[in-house]
Structure 1
Amino acid sequence: MEGTIYSIIPALLMLALVLLTRKVLLSLGAGIIVGALMIHDFNILETVKEIWTIFYEIFVSEGALNTGNLLLLSFLLLLGVMTAFLQASGGSRAFGEWMMKRVKTRTGAQIMTAVLGLIIFIDDYFNSLAVGQIARPLTDRHKISRAKLAYFIDSTSAPVTVISPISSWGAYIIGILGGLFAVNGITDIQPLEAFIKMIPLNLYALSAVLLVFLVAYFKLDIGAMRTHEKRAVETGELLNPEQDYVPGDLGDTFEPHKSGRVFHLLVPIGVLIVATVVSMIITGMNASEEDATLLSTFANTNVNLSLFTGGVIAVLTSLVFHFQQNEPRANTPKLFAEGIKTMLPAIYILLLAWMIGSVIGTLETGEYLAQIVSGASISSSMLPFLFFLIAGIMALATGTSWGTFGIMLPIAAEVTVITDIDMLLPSLAAVLAGSVFGDHCTPISDTTILSSTGAGSNHIDHVLTQLPYAFLAAGAACVGYLIIGFTDQVLLPLVITLAIVTAVGLVINAFSKNKIKQA
């Protein structure tokens, strides 16, 4: 069943169950079991062995510890501990009160969150978790639902890092482009130059970022988001009361210390940011074989080790502040325990997402979708549009943007070099855009999971509330890629794409205001 149409069954089953039951662990588990059964022709014993092997290899691979996964899981635990200290110290409450005096509207709080997402562009994991820690005290005070905060975080993480050459994503993509150009004999353009030229062609990423600001300014609460926002404004409940599975949220576990100050929050977070970035630079420079450049540093950086290092130093900083306050020392073990406990839901989801990703990889779902593209006779003018759709479907099914890059970028390069070299950069940009779009729509994306965690939002609530915005940006991008294919223009498709997003946003805003007046 590997590499055939049957290989998409586990992914489709998982997505259907998520939408029908809203239970992410059940849905992921069902997809894993069905996929493992298909791998071993429904042999029960071999299926059980396969599932155990996949789980085991998350921690131990090829006889050695899988340090990358272990470091990321450890960082999540450290982040939970740091969050507990920030709340117990009174730092979160003090920061919320301080910001309320400066950012006095819900719109301002939302725009500030979006701006933070643009500023912290070095890595999507780091963006998802850091922005949540900084913005959450303010958005909570302004009664902004956690689902909306998660949307802001997710839509300014991957869309920003995928168009930033100075980021872990940018360095990875530029590295792939260098190999593709060498293999296909492309010498008239350099990888970095190509990446820069592809930025205005990444229509989904630019549309998604624009839409974030439109949502913040015009209060574009579409579909399920409207329900979450209405409940938050009217009752103060920032979370769905029907969902008790919320990673990264401590609720009212601790009574904030009365002497808490703003620096009790800002200093540990600042230490986290600085330590992580410095560690990324050091690990990147050490791993660069030649003289380290800015690009080679970010291409070779060890993100998970850097996050772990930053997390350890930040927790130690929080611990120092805790001991300086008049808190009973016996409270310290509880802070560690509760902080770890609040991150367990995110870890459960992430583990199962990794497992189903492995199953889907074994079934060669991505390769099957890629064969459809490479084997079809398609007009070159349709290539950017079709590569966008196929990359989106692949990322949706596999839960990985980077995996989709690795599979689809070589195919896009090979097809366009043979058929129409003028469509090379638009098609490569369409692959990047489609991958981010699919990443936004799937509950098994690690970036989407970490965005929920950073916001302290229920994961499925975040996925479902983000879908309408993702489809709106994708629909506008589809129009843009069709225009690119038939006109070979860059600026015109970008302007039209952004204009469509803006126009639809304004129409939704006017319609919503009209409904409120009628009510």
Structure 2
Amino acid sequence: MDPHPFGWLSLVPPLVAIALAILTRRTLLSLLVGILAGAIILQNGNPITGLWSACADYLWVKATDWDKVQVYLFTLLTGGMIGVVSASGGMRGLVNLIVRFADTRLKGQVTGWVMGLAIFFDDYANMLLLGGTLKEVTDRLRISREKLAYIVDSTAAPVAGLALISTWVATEISFIEEGINQIAGPEKPDAFLLFVESIPYRFYSWWALLLVPLVAMTRRDFGPMLKAEVTMLSQGPAASSPSEEEGLLPESSSWLNAAIPVGTMLSAVVAILYWTGYQASASEAAEPSLLQIIGEGNSYKALLYGSAVSLAVAILLIAPQRLLSTGQMGRAILKGFRAMLPALLILWLAASLAAQTEPPTFDEDTGVMTLNGLNTAGYLKQLLETNLPIEMLPTTVFVLAAAVAFSTGTSWGTMGILVPLSVSLSAGMLTGNGETLDIADPVLLSVVGSVLAGAIFGDHCSPISDTTILSSQSCGCDHMAHVRTQMPYAFLGAVLSIILGTVPVAYGVPVYVCHVLGIGAMIGTLFFLGKNPEALAAEIEADT
């Protein structure tokens, strides 16, 4: 085994970023310090040249990289579109369209879940709109605020992370691209294709999403949630936390004001992705398949143009209706931009940190090996290949991502740190003996799915997570009550996703079999541990 040029020092930048994020809960500062530490190591310990290198060779390069710029612009433009649509009342109109069907406890819970699926493109918009709109409905149906917060929180991030069109997708693809750039060899998988192929392997995201309607349809709860539901049924809405101020949401307007811009984005992205992919694969002798065309498509261009067109359509659609003045329209767009700014900064800094961990490149013409970064994945490969079976890598990554996200309160920051390392590490371990990397390898796909899903699981359990805080506030639920009642459900999904997901799929069990077993196990657990809160409340009322 060849000695690694940096050894354990190659682990310092990501470890510094993770440790500081856990200790300070300030992701941006932690990433910056990690970048500076990596630059100093690459500059042989010189802090002056290290500071210059961090700014010039990494931060500036990633700020001006056109692929990254397209992702930054997509993120901002999508935020602007959501800002306009929300301020016009279109999103509220879409929610109100669905809410009229809820007239029982079962329908109320399932309706909340369906509405969460409908607002798939942004987790913040999802939580704010659903919580604020459904509070009156769930109070009338005697569904506890804790249950409402669980429905909202457990739907928002998983559906945004799984959707092909969302404020998450470009960021997730970009993180995967950073990991792919660290893979040695000429044959590298396409980031968008790897993202799509990994979707079935995100067991926690799928099962957390499916557990919500299963809880509703089985009419069973367990743990602190059962107590909260029984209290609500016995005592009524007064037992829950008081409602938040109602001024957070706009007045309602036609649901088409939301559906048309979102539909435009979806249509434009798919059309541009297909067109660019067809052009790129047109030179092949055989007729390319749809998956090949999508894989060859320029996802960055599709997302950028799709978001720009959708924002333009939103403005042109809403302006003639005089729902917003020119000033209000501008402020709504800027508010949407500002909402996405933290995510954009995390994306930029995470890309800079990932660049420092890249492996050396080999110039076939000159025969010279150029050391671009610390080759962190190469060192981890040497460290783990003799100590960790590769089949356990997806589970290890899932647990690590969950721990970091729980400690830091940010799934995006966790993904930014761990996705590039996980992708490059798994690729290195799979091709350690000279094999060609197979994009369909279940270990590779499960690693990608595990780090993305693990970050969401940790976020769901963290009391310092912005999404956990926002979901409890929007639903008018005590924050720690939301954390206590949601955590057992999140742990159920996570434990099953390891036992029946990441472990068996890595050992060759087909992914669809894992999903069937997981869903069956969730239903069985609900009947084994859960009780009907309505029946318990009726018993309490009969005793009194």
TM-score range, shorter chain: 0.5 to 0.7
Cα shift readout 1:264-297 (whole Å, capped 9, x = no counterpart): 3333333333233323333333444635541233
For residue 336 of structure 1, what is the aligned residue in structure 2? 330
Residues 203 and 433 in structure 1, CA contact (< 8 A), matched pair in contact too = yes
Q: Provide the rounded CA distance (Å) in 2 between the counterparts of 1:262 and 1:439.
A: 33
Q: Which amino acid aligns with 1:273?
A: L
Residues 110 and 139 in structure 1, CA contact (< 8 A), matched pair in contact too = yes
Cα shift readout 1:75-118 (whole Å, capped 9, x = no counterpart): 32233223223x2xxx444444432322444212233136548x
For residue 369 of structure 2, what is the aligned residue in structure 1? none
Q: Which amino acid aligns with 1:263?
A: L
For residue 99 of structure 1, what is the aligned residue in structure 2? 98
For residue 82 of structure 1, what is the aligned residue in structure 2? 85
Q: Does the C-alpha gap of structure 1 residues 414 and 438 become closer, same or farther in structure 2, counting only changes over 3 Å?
A: same
Residues 226 and 533 in structure 2, CA contact (< 8 A), matched pair in contact too = no
Q: Which amino acid aligns with 2:156?
A: I
Cα displacement (A) at 1:454 = 11
For residue 399 of structure 1, what is the aligned residue in structure 2? 415
- CA RMSD across the alignment: 5.7
Q: Which amino acid aligns with 1:322?
A: I
- Where 2:85 maps in the other structure, the secondary structure is helix
Residues 85 and 91 in structure 2, CA contact (< 8 A), matched pair in contact too = no
Say whether residues 1:280 and 2:287 are aligned partners.
no
Q: Provide the rounded CA distance (Å) in 2 between the counterparts of 1:237 and 1:349.
A: 31
Q: Provide the rounded CA distance (Å) in 2 between the counterparts of 1:411 and 1:252.
A: 52
Q: Which amino acid aligns with 2:297?
A: T
Q: 2:531 aligns with which of 488, 510, 515?
A: 510
Say whether residues 1:151 and 2:146 are aligned partners.
no
Q: 1:318 aligns with which of 311, 314, 319?
A: 314
For residue 305 of structure 2, what is the aligned residue in structure 1? 309
Cα displacement (A) at 1:451 = 8.1
Q: Which amino acid aligns with 1:438?
A: G
Residues 408 and 431 in structure 1, CA contact (< 8 A), matched pair in contact too = no
Cα displacement (A) at 1:476 = 1.6
Q: Does the C-alpha gap of structure 1 residues 199 and 108 become closer, same or farther in structure 2, counting only changes over 3 Å?
A: closer
For residue 142 of structure 2, what is the aligned residue in structure 1? none
Q: 2:345 aligns with which of 340, 344, 351?
A: 351
Is there any run of 5+ residues in structure 1 with no aligned partner, and where? Answer: 19-26, 121-125, 185-191, 242-250, 444-448
- Where 1:109 maps in the other structure, the secondary structure is helix
Say whether residues 1:427 and 2:422 are aligned partners.
no
TM, length-normalised to structure 1: 0.65
Cα displacement (A) at 1:389 = 1.3
Cα displacement (A) at 1:340 = 1.7
Q: Provide the rounded CA distance (Å) in 2 between the counterparts of 1:48 and 1:226.
A: 55
Q: Provide the rounded CA distance (Å) in 1 between the counterparts of 2:385 and 2:92.
A: 60
When Rg is computed on C-alpha atoms for both structures, the one with the higher figure is 2
Cα shift readout 1:393-431 (whole Å, capped 9, x = no counterpart): 36958514753563144234236999xx9xx95533432
Residues 123 and 157 in structure 2, CA contact (< 8 A), matched pair in contact too = yes
Moved more, 291-300 or 153-162: 153-162
Q: 1:410 aligns with which of 421, 427, 447?
A: 427
Cα shift readout 1:132-186 (whole Å, capped 9, x = no counterpart): 7996786466457567434313223445769xxxx9999x99xx99xx9x999xx
Say whether residues 1:440 and 2:439 are aligned partners.
no
Cα shift readout 1:185-222 (whole Å, capped 9, x = no counterpart): xxxxxxx9xx98x9877654553443343355457697
Residues 110 and 213 in structure 2, CA contact (< 8 A), matched pair in contact too = no
Q: Provide the rounded CA distance (Å) in 2 between the counterparts of 1:203 and 1:371.
A: 29
Moved more, 478-487 or 335-344: 478-487
Q: Does the C-alpha gap of structure 1 residues 135 and 359 become closer, same or farther in structure 2, counting only changes over 3 Å?
A: same
For residue 210 of structure 1, what is the aligned residue in structure 2? 210
Residues 224 and 464 in structure 1, CA contact (< 8 A), matched pair in contact too = no
Alignment of structure 1 residues 93-492 onto 2, 5 Å? 93-104=92-103, 105-113=107-115, 116=118, 126=121, 139=134, 142=137, 148-159=151-162, 203-204=203-204, 206-215=206-215, 217=217, 218=219, 252=247, 256=251, 260-288=253-281, 290=283, 293-325=289-321, 331-356=325-350, 358-359=352-353, 362=356, 368=376, 371-372=379-380, 374-376=382-384, 383-390=390-397, 393=400, 399-400=415-416, 403-404=420-421, 406-414=423-431, 425-441=441-457, 471-480=491-500, 484=504, 489-490=509-510
For residue 10 of structure 2, what is the aligned residue in structure 1? 3
Q: Provide the rounded CA distance (Å) in 2 between the counterparts of 1:223 and 1:100.
A: 27
Residues 220 and 533 in structure 2, CA contact (< 8 A), matched pair in contact too = no
Cα shift readout 1:22-53 (whole Å, capped 9, x = no counterpart): xxxxx113313432452326977567646655
Residues 112 and 134 in structure 2, CA contact (< 8 A), matched pair in contact too = yes
Is there any run of 5+ residues in structure 2 with no aligned partner, and where? Answer: 1-7, 139-144, 188-192, 359-372, 405-412, 460-464
Q: Which amino acid aligns with 1:314?
A: S
Q: Provide the rounded CA distance (Å) in 2 between the counterparts of 1:273 and 1:485.
A: 32
Q: Provide the rounded CA distance (Å) in 2 between the counterparts of 1:473 and 1:219.
A: 16
For residue 63 of structure 2, what is the aligned residue in structure 1? 59
Residues 423 and 448 in structure 2, CA contact (< 8 A), matched pair in contact too = no
Q: Provide the rounded CA distance (Å) in 1 between the counterparts of 2:414 and 2:398.
A: 10
Q: Does the C-alpha gap of structure 1 residues 413 and 483 become closer, same or farther in structure 2, counting only changes over 3 Å?
A: closer
Alignment of structure 1 residues 41-56 onto 2, 5 Å? 49=52, 52-53=55-56, 55-56=59-60
Q: Does the C-alpha gap of structure 1 residues 278 and 142 become closer, same or farther in structure 2, counting only changes over 3 Å?
A: farther
Cα displacement (A) at 1:70 = 2.7
Cα displacement (A) at 1:455 = 8.2
Say whether residues 1:31 and 2:30 are aligned partners.
yes
Q: Does the C-alpha gap of structure 1 residues 408 and 114 become closer, same or farther in structure 2, counting only changes over 3 Å?
A: farther
Q: Does the C-alpha gap of structure 1 residues 325 and 103 become closer, same or farther in structure 2, counting only changes over 3 Å?
A: same
Cα displacement (A) at 1:130 = 8.9
Q: Does the C-alpha gap of structure 1 residues 414 and 303 become closer, same or farther in structure 2, counting only changes over 3 Å?
A: closer
Q: Which amino acid aligns with 2:314?
A: S
Residues 84 and 315 in structure 2, CA contact (< 8 A), matched pair in contact too = no
Q: Provide the rounded CA distance (Å) in 2 between the counterparts of 1:464 and 1:366.
A: 39
Q: Provide the rounded CA distance (Å) in 2 between the counterparts of 1:92 and 1:352.
A: 27
For residue 17 of structure 1, what is the aligned residue in structure 2? 24
TM, length-normalised to structure 2: 0.62
Residues 357 and 398 in structure 1, CA contact (< 8 A), matched pair in contact too = no
Q: Provide the rounded CA distance (Å) in 1 between the counterparts of 2:257 and 2:199.
A: 39
Q: Does the C-alpha gap of structure 1 residues 130 and 375 become closer, same or farther in structure 2, counting only changes over 3 Å?
A: same
Aligned length: 460
Residues 401 and 455 in structure 2, CA contact (< 8 A), matched pair in contact too = no
Residues 390 and 434 in structure 1, CA contact (< 8 A), matched pair in contact too = yes
Q: Provide the rounded CA distance (Å) in 1 between the counterparts of 2:273 and 2:126.
A: 18
Q: Provide the rounded CA distance (Å) in 1 between the counterparts of 2:70 and 2:530.
A: 48
Cα shift readout 1:494-514 (whole Å, capped 9, x = no counterpart): 554444433444455429779
- Where 2:247 maps in the other structure, the secondary structure is coil
- Where 1:4 maps in the other structure, the secondary structure is helix
Q: 2:72 aligns with which of 69, 88, 108?
A: 69
Cα displacement (A) at 1:372 = 4.3
